Amino acid sequence: MNVQRIQAIFEKDMKDFMKNTMMFFTPLLPVILAVFYSRLGEGEEMPLMMIYLIVGVTYSAVTSGTMMMLMAEENEKKTLRGLMLSPASFLDIIIGKSLAATLLTVVSLVVSLLIMGIAPLLNAQAIMGLVLLFFFFLFLGIGIGLFVKTVGITTAYLMPIMFLFGFTPMVTFLGFAEDSLTMKIAGAFPLPQLIEMDETHSWLSIGVVALWMLAAALFAFICFKKVKQNE
């Protein structure tokens, strides 16, 4: 691992991002949604579920989405080969890109939460949960980004991630009975766990989210190994 090379890749990705119209609008999506939600029921306290929904959208669209697109574009435009033939290691490349995805996520999330009301998330337990959740989505993005060959195909992978993990709390609006299997399964997903944690202050939820994060890290590691084997 080499800090200078990681920084070079990070700066290149940030410059490229500023000129990429499609990617440039991705971090704006949660901000626009936050503005929209904050206008609903003006004067009333923002429901916690809506705040976490914005977190879910930010992490799925910006963290996972950006990471996937950054990797896929390098594959599609055949620029990854140039990086791989340089002294930069595969890990340098992934970390450089992860830093770009992290910066965009932080900016997008902070702006969105400032609009929605950041106060409910300003406690150690919530922050820890948000950090674990961020890494869950980042590892998911890295894993998929490693084998996706074109930017177009990233959409096919991004949609299920957004609906399954980014919009999980919305399942409550689908009319399932509270004790149905669907609701129980959805409740074990990371985002509902964080909402539950906020209500119960249980550390068990943090544990569940940590398990999700470890599973995503394992998935990214398996994808990384597979790509290295195929080289």
45 near other proteins (CB under 8 A): no
CB of 84 to other proteins, least distance (A): 8
128 near other proteins (CB under 8 A): no
CA distance 31 to 201: 28
Among 32, 36, 40, 86, which residue interacts with other proteins (rule: CB under 8 A)? 86
199 near other proteins (CB under 8 A): no
Among 25, 35, 77, 119, which residue interacts with other proteins (rule: CB under 8 A)? 77
Which residues make Cβ contacts (< 8 Å) with residue 31, sequence separation at least 6?
A: 108, 111, 112, 115
Whether the Cβ atoms of residue 68 and residue 150 lie closer than 8 Å to each other: no
Neighbour count for residue 28 (Cβ, 10 Å): 14
CA distance 12 to 40: 39
88 near other proteins (CB under 8 A): yes
CA distance 10 to 17: 10
85 near other proteins (CB under 8 A): yes
Among 1, 3, 19, 175, which residue interacts with other proteins (rule: CB under 8 A)? 19
Q: Which residues bind other proteins (CB under 8 A)?
A: 2, 4-5, 7-9, 12, 15-16, 19-20, 77-79, 81-88, 231
